[in-house]
Amino acid sequence: MMPALVAPAALLALASLPVAAINWHSFLFLLFAAIACGFAVAVVAATNVVRMALYLVLSLAATAGLFLLAGAEFVGAMQLMIYVGGTLVLLVFGVMLTAQAPFVAIASSNGDRVLAGVVGLALLAVLLLAGLSVPAWRAPASGSLAEPAATPLGMAFVGVRVDEPVAGEPRAAVRPGYLLPFEIVSVHLLVVLVGAAYLARAKRRKTQRAIDIVASVEPPASVAEHAAIGRGPAGAGSVLAGGSVLTGGSR
């Protein structure tokens, strides 16, 4: 409801401004920031896990737009490809694999929600105070976008720095790149993916407890109906027996 109210009013305010006065970089920043923050809050507010996944995709995609606006093209592209294209697809697969009816929307208690809201607002207040308290960070952008950052970043990952040192940094003959962290991260990724494949491999055996939980938590609706209908003197036993056979077969 809030976005529906804000959007027309924002358009009105835009129309009242002279077009030349609008800073389009700031306009796009506000657009992407609103999408990113709005859907991040929507992830918290939603109870349905499928909708949470959708909101998260939108929030992270808008964050990629923020990265591009800040001049980090390579990071923005990686955000779209690895995060939105890889990690979130993985997460959506997880949602689909575990989306049995009782688990799609597990609501937490109201007390927990209120407590989390209070703690979250306090944390937000601290972070905002800290972020806005430094005058240098509040100075409007005055730098210029230099050459694209993808080439210097790629060269730095293989250990060669071709970018200019930032102001204030002593100019050294040899500047360290990121070759060692790059190798550590790549080996880490390999180990982690082998471990994940090992953990998630298909197993036939289920523990007795899981079978008991399934049997006790969610009796199939049809069985319960048949049991209720067939409470009469004749047929009740056979229907119940049929139901139990069906339950055993389907699990």
> Interface residues for other proteins in 211-250 (CB under 8 A)?
213-214, 217
State in angstroms the smallest separation of the CB of 27 from other proteins. Answer: 6
Q: Distance (Å, rounded) from C-alpha 143 to C-alpha 134?
A: 18
Residue owning tokens 């790059």: 182
CB 42 within 8 A of CB 60: no
**The token pair that represents 106 in the structure block:** 């597990």
Q: What is the DSSP letter of 200?
A: T
**The token pair that represents 52 in the structure block:** 């949470």
Closer to other proteins by CB, 1 or 173: give it: 1
With binding defined as CB under 8 A, does residue 49 bind other proteins?
A: yes
CB 2 within 8 A of CB 29: no
Instruction: Name residue 60's amino acid.
Output: L
Q: Distance (Å, rounded) from C-alpha 160 to C-alpha 174?
A: 9
Number of residues that bind other proteins (CB under 8 A): 115
Give residues with Cβ within 8 angstroms of 25, minimum separation 6.
69
Choose the stretch contacting other proteins; rule: CB under 8 A; options: 10-18, 226-234, 242-250.
10-18
Closer to other proteins by CB, 79 or 239: give it: 79
∠ CA 44-127-31 to the nearest 5 degrees? Answer: 60
Of the residues 148, 158, 180, 181, which one makes contact with other proteins according to CB under 8 A: 181
63 class by beta-carbon count within 10 Å (0-12 exposed, 13-18 middle, 19+ buried) = buried
**The token pair that represents 126 in the structure block:** 């601290």
Of the residues 148, 206, 238, 241, which one makes contact with other proteins according to CB under 8 A: 206
Closer to other proteins by CB, 171 or 209: give it: 209
Choose the stretch contacting other proteins; rule: CB under 8 A; options: 122-130, 226-234, 238-246.
122-130
* Other Cβ atoms within 10 Å of 156 Cβ, number: 19
Closer to other proteins by CB, 15 or 234: give it: 15
With binding defined as CB under 8 A, does residue 101 bind other proteins?
A: no
**Touching other proteins, residues 139-178 (CB under 8 A):** 139-146, 149, 152-153, 156-157, 161, 163, 165-169, 178
Choose the stretch contacting other proteins; rule: CB under 8 A; options: 45-53, 227-235, 242-250.
45-53
Q: Distance (Å, rounded) from C-alpha 176 to C-alpha 163?
A: 12
Closer to other proteins by CB, 206 or 231: give it: 206
State in angstroms the smallest separation of the CB of 247 from other proteins. Answer: 14
State in angstroms the smallest separation of the CB of 145 from other proteins. Answer: 5
Of the residues 180, 210, 241, 245, which one makes contact with other proteins according to CB under 8 A: 210
- Residue 203's SS3 state is coil
State in angstroms the smallest separation of the CB of 142 from other proteins. Answer: 6
